[in-house]
Amino acid sequence: MLFNSWQYAVFLPVVLALYWALPQKRRWVLLLVASYIFYMSWSAKLMALILTTTATSYAAALLISRAKTQSRKKLWLTLGVGISLAMLFVFKYLNFAVGLCASVLSFLHIPAFVPSLNLLLPVGISFYTFQTLSYVIDVYRGALPAEKHFGIYALYVSFFPQLVAGPIERAVNLLPQFHVEHKPNADEWAHGLRLIAWGLFKKVAIADFIGVYVDAAYNDINACGPMAYVVATALFAVQIYCDFSGYSDVAIGSAKLLGFKLMENFNAPYFARSIKEFWRRWHISLSTWFSDYVYIPLGGSRVSVSRHLANLVITFLLSGLWHGAKLTFVLWGLCHGLLLCLDVFLLPKREKWLKNAPRLKAFIETAVTLVLVVLLWIPFRANSLSDALTIFARLPYALSAPVQGFTVALETLGITSAVLIRIILSFAALAACDAVRRYKGQPFEILARQKSPVRFAVSYALAFCVMLAIFTQPAGTVAEFIYFQF
């Protein structure tokens, strides 16, 4: 059940009507049933996996809280974390590991029979597994008590707005919200509806629209010239942002309609002035998860320089693997880790550089960071490592005749003048909204303080654009969210 489908357009209002009609003590039951129905809309078989993960992490946390000795606590922590990670490895990484072993053996000319596995990747497994891991670890650390109500805990794991693509919530934030009574709040409902509309606008009107032209280049490595890959990569940078942040906006907005507050997941990432700042603004729930549960436990920056650099690389290698069991994601994570290592050495010099021209300094730093981030989307989007390396090798040739190459690229990708105008207008709206977020604050909070005519005009214009984008889509072309594959 996709957020951008008619099924969800029916599902959400029905859940809302029943939720606000029920007394507080019965609402968790409705939300749990609704969440499981939402998840089973992909495959009923997947329920066995999420229920197993839920039960084992629930039991591990209870056993940790009841353990009398530290050694017992560590035992239950190891088992709880180990079982969840083992299930994630089997269903997400076993195929990759087997294929990698087969490639290595073949390269070494060692004859061996390597079985072919075709395990189904359960939707959202990376998200809800990380959510359960953080819960068990936080109980072990004493950050919160173990949840005794199994139904409430199961709801924390499976809460449908953020179940399949985040934000990756922390138990400290979300679990207590299931125990308090939520009362109707018209302002929160209005905010939630605007977030849903904005998220759908980014997904349907921008991401899905430009995704066609991205696929035209990346799905046939020999179909386009160098400049076409420059254009396609720039488009993908916007597509991946609008697709994923659009999902997060709909998730946060849907939760607001139910009275829940989810964490912010994106904050104008393409206005970042360094790779470090980019990761503070992009997929915030994941980057803070890796910081709290991987980077800091490894020692963070409070170690020797060499150990600090190793911690950065390890953390981002794991982050790359989290995104997908492919060498392209490993390369993507490694490159980000190395750029962060470089930033460690450049930071003292950057603070002194152009000290008397802060605006010029900010512009140059933002531009350089944006170019680096966009270039590194190439391995993220490429279908294989060889495709990524081929595109990187061809990019310098785009500089030979940029104007002529750009015109040819548009023709090759099928981007007409009308399409180009729509893309430019969409990008301008997105950039303006993020600029407000970066320098002024949350756009919809600012909008809420405006007079009624302004609020209604913006809301209706946004809703009109979403409906126009939906109804002008070809039949049967509702696209899944990109992060569903992770």
The CA dihedral of 223, 226, 227, 232, to the nearest 10 degrees, is 60
Output the 3-class SS for the chain.
Answer: CCCCCHHHHHHHHHHHHHHHHCCHHHHHHHHHHHHHHHHHCCCHHHHHHHHHHHHHHHHHHHHHHHCCCHHHHHHHHHHHHHHHHHHHHHHHHHHHHHHHHHHHHHHCCCCCCCCCCCCCCCCCHHHHHHHHHHHHHHHHHCCCCCCCCHHHHHHHHHCHHHCCCCCCCCHHHHHHHHCCCCCCCHHHHHHHHHHHHHHHHHHHHHHHHHHHHHHHHHCCCCCCCHHHHHHHHHHHHHHHHHHHHHHHHHHHHHHHHCCCCCCCCCCCHHHCCCHHHHHHHCCHHHHHHHHHHHHCCCCCCCCCHHHHHHHHHHHHHHHHHHHCCCHHHHHHHHHHHHHHHHHHHHHHHHHHCCCCCHHHHHHHHHHHHHHHHHHCHHHHHCCCHHHHHHHHHHHHHHHCCHHHHHHHHHHHHCCCHHHHHHHHHHHHHHHHHHHHHHHCCCHHHHHHCCCHHHHHHHHHHHHHHHHHHHHCCCCCCCCCCHHHHC
Task: Determine the Cα–Cα distance for residues 252 and 358; give it in Å rounded to an integer.
Answer: 35
Of the residues 191, 283, 323, 336, which is catalytic? 323
331-346 burial, b for 16+ CB within 10 Å, e for fewer?
A: bbbbbbbebbbebeee
> Does residue 323 carry a catalytic annotation?
yes
Tokens describing residue 410? 């548009």
End-to-end CA distance of the chain: 17
Tokens of 62: 């209870």
Which residues are marked as active site?
323
